[in-house]
Amino acid sequence: MLRRRATIVLLTALALTACSAPGSDKKAAGDDSGPIKIALVDAQSGQLSSLGAWELKGAKLAVDEWNAQGGINGRQIQLDVFDDQGDPTVGTNLARKIDSEGYIGMIGTAESAVTIAMAPTLKQAEIPNICSGQSPGLVAVGSEFLFLNGPTSTTYDETLAKYIVDGQGIKNIAMITNNGSYGKGEHDAFLKALKARNVTPLADQVVTTDQKDFSAALTGIRQKNPKVIFLGAEEVESGLIVKQARDLGITATFAGAAPQGTPVFLDTAGAKNAEGTIVSSPYLSNDISEASKKFAAAYLAKYNEAAELHGAKAYDGAQIMLTALKSSNVATGKELADAIRATKYQGLLGGFAYDKTGVGIFATSIGTIKDGKLVAASS
Amino acid sequence: MQVFLQTIVGGVSLGAVYALVALGFSLVYRTMGLVNFAHGNVVTVGAYLASTFYLSSKLPFALAMVIAIGVTGAIGLVIERVLRPLENRDFDLMLIGTIGFGIVLDALIIMIWGATGRAVPSPVPSAPIDVFGLRIRTYDLVVLAIAAVATVLLVLFLSRTKRGAAMQAVAMDHEAATAVGIHVGRSNAIAFMIGAGLAALAGGLVGPLLYVSPALGGALGIKGFAAAILGGFGSIPGAIVGGIAIGILDSFAAGHFQGYSELVTFLVFTVIIMIRPTGVFGERTVNRA
């Protein structure tokens, strides 16, 4: 009996220490010693893992540059990677984990749905997060700790609609989007941009994020004979749609935002099938500026592969986070969030100046795919 | 009408792949009474092996497929050998063992090939055939033909060879089979090996249609499993019918219900299973679970 009571006492003591552990950890991180802990949360496995891999490469490049120059206030920056598998549920668990383990900032994720799921926990824990999503839903969350490292779908699609409808005078447009967080955002943003121009899409097909066969949707679109088909889906799915569309004899030009400018999209669709695709992107190529050339060279040297948009975005995001950490003398919580908001940064994507919604950049350019490469559109 | 027919064409080609996945599930189930939850991951391994031999080693597609099927079959043997001590002892443990193997394979795939996937160009580059405005990909015809040949070979093996007959005997009554001198363990090993080989065939064939990534087998595995159930778990013709049916059902659901297609597909599936719990060809050759 005595022994059992002793066990209970011991267990209670254990439980108590276990409960108090996260809080005490966090205080330790606020100390002025040891490395500055930043978490990178992205899909490192699953269908969206290519996004996660690019993000990691871009962010790591920025962190390594800072560390090579002696870090911030003499402290090295420690970038730890967490795999969210592109799954919001895994994401919310990770949000609690990075809070309890005392990370003071977070880079990622590339998936709007995951970021939106993580946002409430991060807001409560006061951990600033610079994410790579572009869904307007990110802004709708209304967290002062959530920042985007690029424009939202609204900007992407407004620029795209302006080019296609106003510039080229094309009004026969069909849409095919998926019902995920990204696709839904694209659907609403592009439809809104079309409506503002009094254009009604000939077809508005929605597919699931997991779909593999698009015969029904594409045959429906083919009968409407559009000149341009708007794509609102991630890299691989967009590539499959384009490939199957060409097999079905659809010759229309495709148009889309960030995913349609990536190598994965090109490979999946096949360069010949993707030829002529119109892309709205804040980072068309590695040759647009001196900064991008330098970034691309460093990226190539480090990873032995060509840099692209997502790596560049993550690089910008990480630079902004680190710049804010430096300007605020390694502040945490709300102070760090305010420092990020105050940061004016000339990045690879352009000039960042954050507004209240956490968006820092409001412009994209139009490019087209020519001979398997994304080049600036001549208009 | 054109949309209707084109939808069927689209559904049948993926359906053939689901059918091959379902065959692997069913073959192991009818022989051992075991659902191999690692099957989807084995499909991914097969897809990666085939695409590696085809793209990196520059072998002809057919040869790359044969080697991939061989290697994957060997992996099937390993899985069976590791699980063998559990047979007839604790069936639940064996089920969990296959789930564990799936996780291990998943991790191995990411370690070897990375988390990023790869696109496989079609080995049949010719343009789709146009039949009265209906477009049929030549590669789809290849997939259908290979799936049909594989099925015929499997049925012949099971019905015409001594080894196949022995497997049928084990499927019906493994104790009686042991009594007449059939090596049950070996029979199970062959089932696992052929199942893994079929998975590699499905994975390799689907590579040029889709995108080879670590997540590939997950999606195919679920649909293949559903196909096997729909056709009657353990039944060889059932797997074929179930696979094509799921493919077409999926295609039509996508056309009519767009974003809710997945939901509709599985609702219809559930209703069919409620009406006919044993599936279309519910023969129930096995009841060892």
In order of A199, A211, A263, A268, B227, the CA distances from B220 in angstroms are: 39, 11, 25, 18, 10
Secondary structure (H, E, C), B139-195:
HHHHHHHHHHHHHHHHHHHHHHCHHHHHHHHHHHCHHHHHHCCCCHHHHHHHHHHHH
Contact at CB, A215 and B128, closer than 8 angstroms = no
Pick from B11, B115, B211: CB nearest A44 = B115
Q: Is A326 exposed, middle or buried (0-12, 13-18, 19+ CB in 10 A)?
A: middle
Peptide bond into A368 cis (omega under 30): no
Range in A95-104, B114-123, B199-208 the model is least confident about: B114-123
Q: What is the pLDDT of residues B142-171, one digit of tens each?
A: 999 999 999 999 999 988 999 888 888 888
Mark whether A146 and A160 lie in a shared domain.
no
The pLDDT tens digits for B81-113 are 988 888 777 778 888 989 999 999 988 998 898
Region for residue B279 given its phi and psi (left: phi exceeds 0; alpha: psi -120 to 50; beta: otherwise): left
Residues of A in contact with B117 (CB under 8 A): 47, 49-50, 236, 264
Both structure tokens of B54: 């085809």
Domain boundary among A230, A251, A281: A281
Chain B contact for A47 (CB, 8 A cutoff) = yes
Same domain (yes/no): A147, A162: no
Residue type, A25: D
Q: Are A159 and A200 part of one and the same domain?
A: yes
A214 and A322, same structural domain?
no
pLDDT in tens, A247-282: 888 999 999 998 898 888 998 999 899 999 999 999
pLDDT at residue A91 greater than cutoff 90 = yes
**What is the structure's pLDDT at B154?**
92
Q: Do B117 and A236 touch (CB under 8 A)?
A: yes
pLDDT tens sequence across A142-198 = 999 999 999 999 999 999 999 999 999 999 999 999 998 889 999 999 999 999 999
Q: Kindly state whether residue A91 falls inside one of the protein's structural domains.
A: yes
Q: State the best of B3, B44, B104 to mutate against chain A, taking most chain A CBs within 10 Å.
A: B3
Q: Is A203 helix (H, G, I), strand (E, B) or coil?
A: strand
A12: number of Cβ within 10 Å: 10
Sign of CA dihedral A37, A42, A45, A50: negative
Whether A31 has a pLDDT exceeding 80, the answer reads no
What pLDDT is recorded for position A5? 56
Number of domains present in the structure of chain A: 2
Q: Which chain A residues are closer than 8 Å to B11 by Cβ? A: 213, 215
Q: A248 contacts in B (CB within 8 Å)?
A: 6, 128, 135
pLDDT of amino acid A379: 54
A227: domain CATH number is 3.40.50.2300
The values of phi and psi at residue A281, to 5°, are: -150, 145
* Contact residues, chain A, for B259 at CB < 8 Å: 178-179, 206-208
pLDDT at residue B223 is higher than 80? yes
Average pLDDT of the residues in A204-216: 89
My answer on whether A162 and A274 are in the same domain is yes
Backbone angles phi, psi at A275, to 5 degrees: -50, 135
- Interchain CB distance below 8 Å, A49 and B128: no
Distance in angstroms (rounded) separating the CA atoms of residues A370 and B23: 44
pLDDT at residue A276 in the model: 93
Q: Which of residues 6-35 of B touch A (CB under 8 A)?
A: 6-7, 9-11, 13-14
Domain identity same for A163 and A261: yes
pLDDT bin (cut points 50, 70, 90) of residue B285 is very low
Statement to judge: residues A188 and A269 lie in one domain: yes
CB contact under 8 A, B211 and A215: no
Residue A59 reports pLDDT greater than 90:
yes
Which whole number is the average pLDDT over B64-87? 91
Q: Which residues of A touch B121 (CB under 8 A)?
A: 270
| Spatial separation of the C-alpha atoms in residues A127 and A104, rounded to whole Å | 6
Note whether A272 and A169 are same-domain residues: yes
- Provide the 10 A C-beta neighbour count for residue A305: 13
Does B116 contact A at CB distance below 8 Å?
yes
Contact list, A206 vs chain B (CB under 8 Å) = 258-259
Q: Count the helix, strand and coil residues of chain B and give each as a percent rounded to the nearest 5.
A: 75, 5, 20
For residues A199 and A103, membership in a common domain is answered with: no
With contact defined as beta carbons under 8 Å apart, do A307 and A296 qualify?
yes
| Whether residue A314 has pLDDT greater than 90 | yes
Which of A281, A304, A321 is at the close of a domain?
A281
Do A193 and A135 share a domain, yes or no?
no
- Among A248, A281, A314, the domain-final residue is A281
Cα A219 from Cα B135, distance rounded (Å): 10
Any idea which of A188-197, A352-361, B171-180 has the lowest mean pLDDT?
A: B171-180
A191 to chain B, minimum CA–CA distance in Å?
Answer: 17
- Chain B residues with CB inside 8 Å of A211's CB? 254, 261-262
Angle between helices B2-32 and B39-51 (to 10 degrees): 110
* A205 and A275 belong to one structural domain: yes
> Which has the closest alpha carbon to A172: A250, A116, A115, A234?
A250
Chain A residues in contact with B118 by the CB 8 A cut-off are 267
Mean per-residue pLDDT of chain A? 88
Which of the listed ranges A188-202, B99-113, B118-132, B178-192 does the model predict with the highest average pLDDT? A188-202
Q: Flag whether A302 is in a domain.
A: yes
Region B212-221: what's the mean pLDDT? Answer: 88
pLDDT at B284: 52
Domain region containing A181? 154-281
In this prediction, residue B283 has a pLDDT band, given cuts at 50, 70 and 90, of low
Does residue A119 surpass a pLDDT of 90?
A: yes
Domains and CATH numbers, chain B: 2-114+136-275 (1.10.3470)
Say if residue B133's pLDDT is above 60: yes
Whole-number pLDDT of residue B169: 86
d(CA A354, CA A147) in angstroms, rounded, equals 8
Q: What is the pLDDT of residue B69?
A: 95
* In contact, B27 and B80? CB cutoff 8 Å: no
- Are the beta carbons of A247 and B128 separated by less than 8 Å? yes
Question: What confidence category does residue B195 fall into, taking pLDDT thresholds of 50, 70 and 90?
Answer: very high
Give the C-alpha separation, B189 to B183, whole Å: 10
Rounded Cα distance, A146 and A128, in Å: 6
Same domain, A159 and A276: yes
Which of A187, A213, A273 would you mutate first to test chain B, the one with the most B CBs within 10 A?
Answer: A213
DSSP-derived letter for residue B127 is P
pLDDT for res A378: 67
Query: In the predicted model, what is the mean pLDDT of residues A315-321?
Result: 96
Residue A74 in domain: yes
